[in-house]
């Protein structure tokens, strides 16, 4: 049987098929598809970067608040608090401190000099300290009453010193309106022992606000001019004005701001106690 011959394809067909294959191989990728893929990739990157930027500061802030809470708890742990007073009720010497929560000089004293005073004299039951609200750096009277009332309300649960310590640690930029309801609430929420609902009730009662206003007016009438300011004396007796050895006189300020140290108090207490 004769071998069947393979039928050849017409030349025109072969040329057309070859041209189509070459065209298919050399056709550039779909531009719309590439743009779509690129856009999706860009959006994914933006979303990831945004999440990192959003979560990063929150984690950093939470970590800083935890460090502050631990530092304050360590400083005050085991020391009796009653209302505005830090220290044993039976301590023979009393130090009154007049301060404004937004005042940078009060912050400096509380954060740098007070810890040594607490360690040397309050923990040893020689000294008790009373915190008294006095308006200086808080320009808005309403804000002053609100912030100081928040601290005094914490004092109703014997946590005033925890509140003011945390406030000074987290104090905002001077002469700015950083004190808001959220700011005050956040400080309260950093005190584990504080009943927040009761704290709000104490803030809203009006009684603590009246105390803040009375303290400020009384101190002003008695000749207090700057913050921090101090009075010192034997518990139960009339307290006397007390100044630290370090003094700063600011322009247009007639009365110097002083910073009482543990060394200053040691000298004064030795003459009282």
CB 227 within 8 A of CB 99: yes
CA distances 152 to 76, 84, 138, 158, 217, Å, are 17, 7, 17, 9, 16
- Provide DSSP, 81-144: EETTEES-TT-SEEEEEEE-TT-HHHHHIIIIIHHHHIIIIITTTSEEEEEEE--SS---HHHH
Of residues 101, 59, 109, the one with CA closest to residue 243: 109
The whole model's pTM is what?
0.78
Per-residue pLDDT of the chain (273 residues; tens, 9 = 90+): 444 444 444 444 445 555 454 445 555 556 666 666 767 777 776 767 665 566 556 566 678 888 898 899 999 999 999 999 999 999 999 999 999 999 999 999 999 999 999 999 999 999 999 999 999 999 999 999 999 999 999 999 999 999 999 999 999 999 999 999 999 999 999 999 999 999 999 999 999 999 999 999 999 999 999 999 999 999 999 999 999 999 988 777 778 899 999 999 999 999 987
Q: What pLDDT score was predicted for residue 6?
A: 47
Q: What pLDDT score was predicted for residue 4?
A: 46
Q: What pLDDT score was predicted for residue 7?
A: 47
* DSSP assignment letter at 193: T
Residue 18: CB partners within 8 Å, gap ≥ 6? none
Of residues 206, 215, 245, 189, the one with CA closest to residue 62: 189
């Amino acid at each position: 049987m004769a071998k069947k011959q393979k039928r050849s394809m017409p030349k025109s067909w072969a040329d057309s098929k070859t041209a189509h294959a070459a065209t298919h191989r050399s056709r550039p990728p779909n531009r719309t598809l590439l743009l779509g893929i690129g856009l999706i990739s860009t959006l994914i990157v933006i979303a990831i970067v945004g999440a990192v930027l959003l979560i990063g500061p929150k984690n950093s802030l939470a970590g800083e608040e935890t460090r502050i809470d631990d530092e304050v708890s360590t400083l005050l742990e085991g020391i009796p608090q009653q209302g505005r007073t830090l220290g044993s009720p039976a301590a023979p010497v009393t130090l009154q401190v007049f301060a404004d929560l937004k005042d940078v000089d009060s912050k400096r004293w509380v954060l740098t000099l007070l810890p040594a005073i607490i360690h040397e004299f309050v923990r040893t039951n020689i000294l008790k300290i009373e915190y008294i609200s006095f308006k200086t750096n808080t320009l808005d009277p309403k804000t002053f009453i609100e912030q100081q009332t928040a601290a005094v309300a914490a004092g109703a649960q014997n946590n005033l010193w925890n509140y003011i310590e945390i406030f000074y640690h987290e104090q905002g930029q001077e002469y700015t309106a950083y004190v808001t309801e959220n700011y005050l609430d956040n400080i309260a929420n950093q005190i584990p022992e504080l009943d927040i609902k009761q704290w709000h009730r104490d803030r809203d009662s009006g009684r603590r606000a009246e105390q803040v206003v009375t303290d400020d007016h009384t101190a002003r009438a008695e000749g207090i001019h700057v913050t921090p300011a101090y009075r010192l004396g034997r518990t139960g007796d009339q307290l006397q004005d007390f100044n630290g050895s370090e003094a700063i006189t600011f322009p247009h300020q007639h009365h110097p701001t002083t910073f009482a140290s543990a060394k200053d108090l040691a000298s004064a207490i030795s003459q009282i106690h």
